Amino acid sequence: MVLRRGLATVATVGIGALGAACMLPRDPPPGASGPMIYEYQNCANCHGEDRRGKTQGPPLTNLAEHWTRANLIQYLADPKSWIDRTPRLRKMRSEYSGEMSSYGNLTYAERKVLAEWLLTEASD
Ligand code: HEC
């Protein structure tokens, strides 16, 4: 009995810690807004809740200086191909500890909503 209770405690604490440390990305609900998709896909883990960057990823502010909407929609689905041919992105890859994942799991419509929101200024 004592042993079983001990194991149950270890299991509960272990799962709790794992859940807090690495929340898995979840599919956004249909019709989700840009901020919701950002939250569901855990973009904040690397780019910060406020989009101002962390050690894992760059700030996502002033993106309109570098991206058209169409390019950003493509980039989100296949960042690697852009990084290979864009010196600015390659430099960021060496400066931040994270690695931008591919979000081809999102539909075109979801990436479009996300890109439109990213191209607006991050709020203070
Ligand atoms: C595991 C960390 C990580 C996660 C999660 C992540 N990114 Fe990134 N992101 C990066 C890094 C690092 C870069 C810099 C380029 C590179 O290394 O690939 C980057 C680059 C970017 C850029 C280009 C920035 C610029 O200045 O042009 C955009 C846009 C972007 N991410 C959006 C997102 C969005 C939206 C999500 C969620 C759907 C997301 N990222 C999730 C790490 C991450």
For the stretch 49-68, pLDDT in tens is: 999 999 999 999 999 999 99
What CATH code is carried by the domain that includes residue 107?
A: 1.10.760.10
Asked whether residue 86 is domain-assigned, the answer is: yes
Cα dihedral 17/8/10/12 (nearest 10):
10
**C-alpha–C-alpha distance, residues 10 and 100, integer Å:** 33
Residue 90 beta carbon below 6 angstroms from any ligand 1 atom = no
Cα(16) to ligand 1 centroid in Å equals 27
Given a contact cutoff of 8 angstroms between Cβ atoms, the answer to whether 26 and 40 are in contact is yes
Is 27 part of a structural domain of the chain? no
Q: 42: phi > 0 → left, psi -120 to 50 → alpha, else beta; which?
A: left
pLDDT of residue 44: 97
DSSP, res 120 = S
Total domains in the fold of the chain: 1
pLDDT digits (tens, 9 = 90+) for 73-94: 999 999 999 999 999 999 999 9
The answer on pLDDT for 1 being more than 70 is: no
Between 70 and 17, residue with greater pLDDT: 70
In a domain, 5, yes or no: no
Cβ of 101 below 6 Å from ligand 1:
yes
Residue 25 lies in a domain: no
In a domain, 96, yes or no: yes
- Its domain, for residue 108, covers 34-124
**What is the C-alpha to C-alpha distance for residues 103 and 55, in angstroms, rounded to an integer?**
21
Residue at 104 is within a domain: yes
CB of 92 closer than 6 A to ligand 1? yes
Total number of residues shown for the chain: 124
Does the residue 7 lie in any domain?
Answer: no
